[in-house]
């Protein structure tokens, strides 16, 4: 009997020793997990960056992804490049607040700063936005009055400098025409260069970044007045800490040699801090997209 009790006691002690080891391992694992969490940035969330589809998705991804990678490297943020199949779809996604950050034209900013409330962070440095009407290099059209009765190409109804301003100007001058919306700036340049349309609207920046084999076939017929350029804005759901970290890195790109090629490929000089009032020049125009003729 005494021997049996002694054996049972040894077994119980063995279990206790094993349990202590298990508990120690569990405690160590929990402690290690907590340590990892403490070392992981609080902003490990991935933020989406929506870019207005002025050009083909392939070209945009090639030019904008290095910028996002540069920001990631210098902030620790995780960013994901996003766009849309066309500008109207991009506008719908802005209206729904789909993007955490977004690069949008001035008209978009004025509209979507009201609802869902995008806030300006930065804008292109030392640049004003100018729209253009382009024709084929060897076209006989020398004046916009010669566009009367023509079918003209535009990126989308709400493309501010590339579409809204040219259409309003033509309307003011009593020049009747039929607008056709071809989804992107690149599509405008391509269709005009190929003679599908006699003229079309774009902006100076995208025209300059168009492949030479297309750009060299075009000629600028008319240029709009200049305005505050596109806004790089943030959704109100993003914290100030995150948005300011991004803005700080972007505004310092001009003085960083490592960022030179990135800016060159975007055809930009750099970024300046922006304020909502910067787009008052557009607000003061009282532009309504309904003022511009739209294809029925």
Based on the fold, state whether residues 195 and 148 are members of the same structural domain. yes
pLDDT surpassing 60 at residue 10: no
The CATH number covering residue 245 comes to 3.40.190.10
Based on the fold, state whether residues 54 and 186 are members of the same structural domain. no
pLDDT of residue 293: 62
**Mean pLDDT of all residues in the chain?**
87
pLDDT surpassing 50 at residue 50: yes
Q: Does residue 170 fall inside a structural domain?
A: yes
| Three-class secondary structure assignment of the chain | CHHHHHHHHHHHHHHHHHHHHHHHHHHHHHHHHHHHHHHCCCCCCEEEEEECCCCCHHHHHHHHHHHHHHHHHHHCCEEEEECCCCHHHHHHHHHCCCCCEEEECHHHHHHHCCCCCCEEEEEECCCCEEEEEEEECCCCCCCHHHHCCEEEEECCCCCHHHHHHHHHHHHHCCCCEEEEECCCHHHHHHHHHCCCCCEEEEEHHHHHCCCHHHHCCEEEEEEEEEECCCEEEECCCCCHHHHHHHHHHHHCHHHCHHHHHHHHHHCCCCEEECCHHHHHHHHCCCCCHHHCCCCC
Q: Does residue 36 fall inside a structural domain?
A: no
CB 144 within 8 A of CB 175: yes
Name the pLDDT band for 283 (thresholds 50, 70, 90): very high
Based on the fold, state whether residues 210 and 245 are members of the same structural domain. no
Q: Does residue 288 fall inside a structural domain?
A: no
Based on the fold, state whether residues 116 and 91 are members of the same structural domain. yes
pLDDT per residue over 81-118, tens digit each? 999 999 999 999 999 999 999 999 999 999 999 999 99
Q: Report the range of poorest mean pLDDT among 31-40, 43-52, 116-125, 162-171.
A: 31-40
Based on the fold, state whether residues 237 and 207 are members of the same structural domain. no
Q: Does residue 291 fall inside a structural domain?
A: no
pLDDT surpassing 80 at residue 28: no
Based on the fold, state whether residues 50 and 190 are members of the same structural domain. no
pLDDT > 90: percent of the chain: 79
pLDDT of residue 250: 98
pLDDT surpassing 80 at residue 23: no
Based on the fold, state whether residues 92 and 235 are members of the same structural domain. yes
Q: Does residue 290 fall inside a structural domain?
A: no
Let me know if 120 is exposed, middle or buried by CB neighbors in 10 A (0-12, 13-18, 19+). buried
Q: Report the range of poorest mean pLDDT among 24-33, 182-191, 221-230, 258-267.
A: 24-33
The number of domains in the chain is: 3
Name the pLDDT band for 192 (thresholds 50, 70, 90): very high
Q: Does residue 296 fall inside a structural domain?
A: no
Q: Position of tokens 């084929």?
A: 136
Based on the fold, state whether residues 14 and 150 are members of the same structural domain. no
Q: Does residue 247 fall inside a structural domain?
A: yes
Based on the fold, state whether residues 133 and 224 are members of the same structural domain. yes
Based on the fold, state whether residues 95 and 209 are members of the same structural domain. no
Based on the fold, state whether residues 58 and 184 are members of the same structural domain. no
Q: Does residue 40 fall inside a structural domain?
A: no
Mean pLDDT is highest, among 36-40, 42-46, 116-120, for 116-120
pLDDT > 70: percent of the chain: 82
pLDDT of residue 294: 55
Which strands form 78-82's sheet, in the order they lie side by side? Answer: 78-82, 46-51, 101-104, 231-234, 119-124, 271-273
CA 61 to chain centre: 11
Domain range enclosing 23: 1-29
pLDDT surpassing 70 at residue 42: no
Based on the fold, state whether residues 107 and 241 are members of the same structural domain. yes
pLDDT per residue over 220-252, tens digit each? 999 999 999 999 999 999 999 999 999 999 999
CB 194 within 8 A of CB 181: no
193, 213, 228 — which closes off a domain?
Answer: 228
pLDDT per residue over 58-72, tens digit each? 999 999 999 999 999
């Amino acid at each position: 009997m005494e021997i049996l009790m002694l054996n049972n006691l040894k077994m119980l002690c063995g279990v206790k020793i094993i349990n202590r080891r298990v508990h120690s391992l569990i405690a160590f694992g929990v402690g290690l997990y907590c340590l990892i969490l403490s070392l992981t940035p609080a902003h490990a969330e991935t933020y989406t960056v929506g870019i207005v589809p002025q050009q083909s998705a392939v070209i945009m991804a090639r030019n904008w992804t290095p910028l996002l990678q540069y920001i990631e490297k210098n902030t620790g943020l995780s960013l994901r490049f996003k766009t849309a199949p066309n500008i109207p779809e991009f506008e719908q996604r802005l209206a729904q607040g789909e993007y955490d950050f977004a690069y949008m034209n001035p008209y978009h900013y004025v509209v979507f700063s009201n609802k869902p409330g995008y806030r300006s962070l930065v804008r292109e440095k030392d640049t004003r936005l100018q729209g253009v009407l382009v024709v084929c290099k060897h076209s006989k059209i020398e004046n916009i009055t010669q566009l009367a009765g023509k079918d003209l190409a535009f990126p989308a109804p709400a493309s501010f400098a590339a579409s809204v301003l040219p259409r309003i100007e033509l309307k003011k001058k009593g020049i009747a025409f039929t607008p056709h919306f071809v989804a992107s700036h690149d599509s405008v340049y391509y269709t005009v260069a190929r003679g599908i349309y006699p003229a079309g609207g774009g902006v100076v920046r995208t025209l300059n970044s168009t492949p030479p084999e297309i750009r060299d076939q075009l000629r600028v017929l008319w240029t709009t007045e200049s305005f505050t350029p596109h806004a790089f804005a943030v959704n109100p759901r993003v914290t100030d800490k995150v948005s300011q970290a991004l803005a700080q890195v972007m505004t310092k790109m001009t003085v960083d040699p490592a960022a030179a090629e990135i800016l060159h490929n975007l055809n930009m000089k750099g970024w300046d801090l922006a304020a909502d009032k910067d787009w008052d020049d557009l607000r003061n125009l009282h532009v309504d997209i309904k003022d511009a003729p739209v294809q029925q």
